[in-house]
Amino acid sequence: MKAGLYYIGDLCYVLDNKDWDEVCELTISGIKCLSGEFQFKDGRRFAMYNTKFGDGVYPDQFGNRYCVDSGSIGCILVDHTTKSLLDEMKQLGAVVEMQYDFDTCSNDGLIKICSTTIDTAGDWKRKRMNTTTKRRQYELGS
C-alpha cells in the first residue's frame, strides 16, 4: 500500500453505502469472504482481512482497540473515506500516518498492517463487548 494517512479498522464504519456495496462485490465470492488488498473501480485501494472470530473488539500491540461489526479489519487512506468522521475513526479504530509504502497480511487471525498487528485469534471472549451499543452511539453521533 502507498504511504499516507490511513484509517485502520472496520471499513464498514467509514465508507458510504455505494463504496461499501463495491467492497462487498470485491470481497464476497459466493459464500466465501476474500481477504487481501483490493482496488475500487475508480483506482482507490484498500486492504481488508477477516477476523478469526467475527464481530467484537480486538487489540493491537500498542493498546488500541478495534471495534468490528463486519467480521473484518482493514485499512484505507483517510482521503478515500467519509472524512467528516475523523473523530469517530479514532474511536472505532486508529488513524496512522504511514511514512513509507507498506505491506499488509493476515495469518491465522493475526492481521498485520505495516507495523500494527491486531490479534483477532486470542482470548476472544474476553475481548468481546457489546458492539451494537457502540455502533448505535456512532450512528446517533453521541
DSSP class of residue 60 equals B
Q: Is the pLDDT of residue 6 over 80?
A: yes
| pTM: predicted TM-score of the whole model, two decimal places | 0.84
Q: What integer pLDDT is reported at residue 136 of this predicted model?
A: 44
Mean pLDDT of the chain: 87
Categorize the per-residue pLDDT at 88 as very low, low, confident or very high, splitting at 50, 70 and 90: confident
User: Smallest Cα–Cα separation from 9: which of 114, 77, 89?
Assistant: 89
Instruction: Tell me the Ramachandran region of residue 108: left when phi exceeds 0, alpha when psi lies from -120 to 50, beta otherwise.
Output: left
Given a contact cutoff of 8 angstroms between Cβ atoms, the answer to whether 12 and 85 are in contact is: no
Per-residue pLDDT, 123: 58
Q: Total structural domains in the chain? A: 1
| Single-letter amino acid code for the residue at 140 | L
| Residue 121 reports pLDDT greater than 70 | yes
Residue 24 belongs to domain spanning: 4-140
